[in-house]
Amino acid sequence: MFELIQVSENCYYIQSPAKIGLVRLNAEEVCLIDSGNDKDAGRKVRQILDANRWKLRAIYITHSNADHIGGNKYLQAQTGCRIYAPGIDCDFTRHPLLEPSFLYGGFPCRDLRHKFLMAQESSAEYLTADVLPDGFEIILLPGHFFDMVGFRTPDDVVYLADCLSSRETLEKYRIGFIYDVAAYLKTLEQVKTMKAKLFIPSHAAATDSIAELAQVNIDQVNEIADRILDLCETPRCFEEILQQLFQAYALTMNMEQYVLVGSTVRSYLAWLKDTGRLNVSFEDSRMLWIAVQ
């Protein structure tokens, strides 16, 4: 873990729970794409920088989930680097309490205010094209989170953030976190057509061909949607739907999984309603979801 892997003349990634991109900008300076899940990750990145006598110029954030920004505060304090994050994700990076609050739908209890869901706050600036190193391209990848992006480097290496997961991850967790299902599917269709020397997803193996894995992720979304529609042949409240999905996929319920999977299921319900496949009724002070016949 935290091995530095070179994939082109100037591009690397650091193998970690969520891959950290590293791009050499010149003989002395590098930038990072994301920073890992916590202070310990930041410390290990710093050791890699020191071992190679590299100076960290900036961290470019793909999105503000805690496992991608957890090393920010440590690395910024140690190196003075600047941090750039896209759109709403910049605000989440500055104010990380927003993440567990958003997931829970209210002020989160202490059980949700930990490093897995809430990074330490860091001083971030808005990501725009003019702050990128020469030859870098921002790739818009919304869906998994609010304004998530990826990056194409001058070496034609594409860092894809969390827009798709490995087969193994899908088989283990079954319901991957999605904020906007319609945008997520649109992003995956876009990714299917991409060409690059190498693709580096945060939670899947680096590959020179991404289309097949993108389709696997699309198929998983559609499977979950179909299962929800089947469940809603009988009118059901949200908690019943969530219970049935946890049981069907043999998932273990705890506070973290309740908010992560629960938030995702709400996103599926909203998408299915917006596309005319679900409707709602209010009975006995409950909102019930019902499949449209």
Rounded CA-CA distance 86/239 in Å is 33
pLDDT tens per residue across span 166-214? 999 999 999 999 999 999 999 999 999 999 999 999 999 999 999 999 9
The confidence score (pLDDT) of residue 65 equals 98
Q: Read off the DSSP letter of residue 236.
A: B
Percent of the chain with pLDDT over 70: 100
pLDDT tens per residue across span 71-105? 999 999 999 999 999 999 999 999 999 999 999 99
pTM, two decimal places: 0.96
The confidence score (pLDDT) of residue 23 equals 98
E-only strand ranges, 205-275: none
> Residue 271 in contact with residue 183, Cβ under 8 Å?
no
- pLDDT for 293 beyond 90: no
pLDDT tens per residue across span 12-70? 999 999 999 999 999 999 999 999 999 999 999 999 999 999 999 999 999 999 999 99
Query: Distances in Å between the alpha carbon of 208 and those of 129, 169, 195, 201?
Result: 25, 19, 8, 11
Q: Is the dihedral of CA 197, 202, 205, 209 positive or negative?
A: negative
Domain architecture of the chain: domains with CATH: 4-133 (3.60.15.10), 225-291 (1.10.10)
